[in-house]
A and B are shown apart, each in its own frame.
Chain A
C-alpha cells in the first residue's frame, strides 16, 4: 500500500504492489464486470426481459471485462490507487445500475 509519499512527478511503476493490485483486480474487477454487464442488459436493444440468447450473452460479457481489469490493474501506481479508483468505478456503475432499475423497472 505504501506509495512513495511526495516524490517528484516521474514516479516509476513498481512490481512490489502486485498483491494488492491483483486482489483489487480480482474482486473489484469482478464487481465492475457484473455492474457493466447489468448496464448492458438494461440499455442494449431488447432490454432486460429479452430472450434466452441475450441472457447468455450478458453472462458472457463478464469474462472479457473481468479479465480486462485484471490485465490492466497493474498500471495503477500503487495498490491504494487501484482500490480507490476501481472502488469508485464500482460505486458509479452499481449506482447507475440501481438508478436504471428504479427508473426503468
Chain B
C-alpha cells in the first residue's frame, strides 16, 4: 500500500512520542495483566489454610445457618453459601461485616467442630492476587485509584494512537517485511522486525485492550455526560419487575434444593455459590457460577438472580441467554478478560500479555538503537544522555516490575502470622523492590544493571516455589495446598532459567557486542561525567 512519505514521517513522530510516554506503564499493565489471567489459582495458592473444621455437607447448610444467625444475627443481612469450599473460600457459609467505609469489610466463615459446636473464623483470603490485579488496572502507579485510573485512561488512549500510527508506518512495507526476521549484524533491523511482527500479529488483541481500557477508565464520566446530553429522562436502565412477595406459607428453599433446581434449569452451568440478602423480611438471592461454553463479563464468573422461595432462575443476566445489546456488551468485557474458552484461552491470553509486554520493551530498545552514536575513526563516543536515561529507565522499570511481583509472591507464604497488615506488606515489598531496581539501573548503567537485575529476578522467582516447598514440611508457618496452585510454583520455577539466559545474553552483548552502544559497558556508563568526555577512547 502506498502512503505519502510526509504522512509516514508525521506518524513516525507520533508513534515514537506516545510510545515513549506510555510504553513502560503499558509494560507493567501487560506483565501484571498476564499474571492476573490466573487470579483465582493464585489466590488459592496464596491463602493460608483455614483452622475451620471441614465444611458440613451442603444438606446441613440450614443447620449451620441457624447456628450462625443465633450467635451472629447481623450475618442474616448478607451471606454466601459456597457449593464447593476451597482454600480461598474455606467455609460452607461466609458473611461480611461492614468496616469503616463502604468498601471495607471483614469476611467470616463458619463450620461445625467435631463435637457439633459452631466454629467461626475471620477469613484470611490472600491479598496478593488483588495487588497484581491492581498493578494491572492502574498501570503500576502508586497513586490513589481516582488519580491513577485517569492516567491509565490517558495511557490507553495513547496506546490506541500508538497502535494506529504504528500500523500506518508499516503498511507500505507490510507485504515485503511481514514476518521477516533478519537476525544478524544489524541489531536495529532485528528489533524492528521483532517489534513489527509482534505488533501486526497481535493487533486485534491490542485494539481490544486499548478500547476496552478507555471505557474501564472513563465509564463514569462517559455516563455522566451522556445523561446530560443524550437522554431526556436520565440514563435508562430498564425496568426490573420486583420479585413477587412470598406467600405466608412460603419459606426459602434449603441450599441443596436450590442447587438441584439450578442445575436442572441450567445444564452445563457449574454453580459456585449462592448469595443471599435480606430486605425488609424478604430474602433475595443470586447464583454465581460459570458455563465454560460462554464468556462472561465478570473476570471469573457469571451471576444472575434466583428466587430463593421457588428456586426459579431469572437467566436474563447469563451469557448465552441475554438480549442482543447485553450480549454485545458482554462480548466487550469477555474479550478483555479472556473469560471465554476456559483455561486454554487463559494460557493463550497469558502468552499474548507477555508478548504485549515484549512489544513495548522492544519499542524502547528501538528508540535507543536509533539514537546510537556510532564509532568513528576508532573512537568510541559516549552515548547520548537521553539514550542512556531511557536505557536505564527501560531496564529499571520493566525488570523492577518483574522482580517486585516475584519478590512479593515469594513473601506470600511467610507473611501471615508475622505481620498485621499482609496486604500493606505485599504492596510495600513490591514498591520497595521496584524502586530499588530503578535506582540500581541508574547507578549501574543499562547494561550492567540489566544483567544484575535479571539475575535478581531469577533469584526472586526461585524463592516463590521454595516457599511452597517449605510449606510441604510446614517450616516457619508456611503451607502448601496439595494439588491447587502447583502451576503457580511451576511457572515461577520455569521463569528462573529464562531470566538467567537473558542475563547471559546481556553479558555476552556487553563483552562481544558493539562498544558504541548503551548496552556496552564502554558506551553505556550512566556516569554523568562521561557526558563531557565525548571522545573517550577505548581499545
List chain A positions with a Cβ less than 8 A from chain B: 12-15, 18, 26, 34-35, 37-38, 41-42, 46, 48-60, 62-64, 66-67, 70-72, 74-75, 94, 97, 101, 105
The complex places the Cα of A15 from the Cα of B14 at a distance, in Å, of 8
Minimum CB–CB distance from A88 to chain B (whole Å) comes to 18
Q: Across the interface, name the chain B residue whose C-beta is closest to A49.
A: B236
Known: A15-B10, A49-B233, A66-B157. A38 touches B211 (CB 8 A): no
Cβ contacts B1-19/A at 8 Å (1 or 0 each): 0001011011101100100
The complex places the Cα of A101 from the Cα of B229 at a distance, in Å, of 10
List CB contacts (< 8 Å) of B280-339 with chain A.
322-329, 332
* A46→B325 contact, CB < 8 A: yes
Chain B residues within an 8 Å CB radius of A57: 325, 328-329
The complex places the Cα of A35 from the Cα of B161 at a distance, in Å, of 21
From A50, A56, A67, A94, B214 is in contact (CB under 8 Å) with: A67
* A14→B10 contact, CB < 8 A: yes
Chain B residues within an 8 Å CB radius of A66: 157, 214
B231 proximal to A (CB < 8 A):
yes
Q: Could you list some 23 contacts between A and B, CB below 8 A?
A: A13-B9, A13-B10, A14-B6, A34-B226, A34-B229, A41-B226, A46-B325, A49-B236, A50-B238, A50-B325, A51-B238, A51-B326, A53-B238, A53-B324, A53-B329, A54-B325, A62-B222, A62-B226, A63-B215, A67-B157, A67-B210, A70-B160, A74-B11
From A56, A94, A101, B325 is in contact (CB under 8 Å) with: A56
Cβ contacts B127-164/A at 8 Å (1 or 0 each): 00000000000000000000000000000010011001
8 additional contacts (CB under 8 A) given A13-B10, A53-B327: A12-B6, A15-B9, A37-B226, A37-B230, A49-B236, A52-B236, A57-B328, A59-B222
B232 proximal to A (CB < 8 A):
yes
* B230→A74 contact, CB < 8 A: no
Q: Across the interface, name the chain B residue whose C-beta is closest to A94.
A: B229
Q: Across the interface, name the chain A residue whose C-beta is closest to B11.
A: A74
* B13→A15 contact, CB < 8 A: yes
**How many A-B pairs fall under 8 Å by CB?**
118
List chain B positions with a Cβ less than 8 A from chain A: 4, 6-7, 9-11, 13-14, 17, 157, 160-161, 164-165, 210-212, 214-215, 218-219, 222-223, 225-226, 229-233, 235-238, 322-329, 332
* B226→A59 contact, CB < 8 A: yes
Chain B residues within an 8 Å CB radius of A72: 164
* A71→B226 contact, CB < 8 A: no
Chain A residues within an 8 Å CB radius of B235: 55
* B232→A67 contact, CB < 8 A: no
The complex places the Cα of A18 from the Cα of B165 at a distance, in Å, of 13
* B219→A71 contact, CB < 8 A: no
* A41→B231 contact, CB < 8 A: yes
* A58→B10 contact, CB < 8 A: no
Known: A53-B323, A74-B11. A48 touches B232 (CB 8 A): yes
Q: Which of A42, A50, A51, A56 has the most C-beta atoms of chain B within 10 angstroms of its own C-beta?
A: A56
Chain A residues within an 8 Å CB radius of B222: 59, 62-63
Chain A residues within an 8 Å CB radius of B230: 34, 37-38, 41-42, 48, 58, 97
Minimum CB–CB distance from B483 to chain A (whole Å) comes to 39
Minimum CB–CB distance from B284 to chain A (whole Å) comes to 18
From A60, A74, A101, B215 is in contact (CB under 8 Å) with: A60
Q: Across the interface, name the chain B residue whose C-beta is closest to A73.
A: B161
The complex places the Cα of A52 from the Cα of B297 at a distance, in Å, of 15
The complex places the Cα of A41 from the Cα of B230 at a distance, in Å, of 8
Minimum CB–CB distance from A74 to chain B (whole Å) comes to 5
* B160→A53 contact, CB < 8 A: no
The complex places the Cα of A52 from the Cα of B325 at a distance, in Å, of 8
* A60→B325 contact, CB < 8 A: no
The complex places the Cα of A38 from the Cα of B229 at a distance, in Å, of 8
Q: Which of B212, B225, B325, B329 has the most C-beta atoms of chain A within 10 angstroms of its own C-beta?
A: B325
Q: Across the interface, name the chain B residue whose C-beta is closest to A72.
A: B164
The complex places the Cα of A86 from the Cα of B232 at a distance, in Å, of 26
The complex places the Cα of A15 from the Cα of B7 at a distance, in Å, of 9
Minimum CB–CB distance from B147 to chain A (whole Å) comes to 18
* A70→B14 contact, CB < 8 A: no
Chain A residues within an 8 Å CB radius of B231: 41, 48
The complex places the Cα of A26 from the Cα of B214 at a distance, in Å, of 13
Chain A residues within an 8 Å CB radius of B4: 13
* B236→A97 contact, CB < 8 A: no
Minimum CB–CB distance from B392 to chain A (whole Å) comes to 27
* A63→B214 contact, CB < 8 A: yes
The complex places the Cα of A38 from the Cα of B363 at a distance, in Å, of 38
Known: A48-B232, A51-B236, A67-B214. A56 touches B226 (CB 8 A): no
Q: Across the interface, name the chain A residue whose C-beta is closest to B159.
A: A67
Minimum CB–CB distance from B472 to chain A (whole Å) comes to 47
* A58→B215 contact, CB < 8 A: no
Chain A residues within an 8 Å CB radius of B218: 62-63
The complex places the Cα of A38 from the Cα of B231 at a distance, in Å, of 8
* A48→B160 contact, CB < 8 A: no
* B237→A18 contact, CB < 8 A: no
Chain A residues within an 8 Å CB radius of B211: 63-64, 67
Chain B residues within an 8 Å CB radius of A34: 225-226, 229-230
Minimum CB–CB distance from B325 to chain A (whole Å) comes to 3
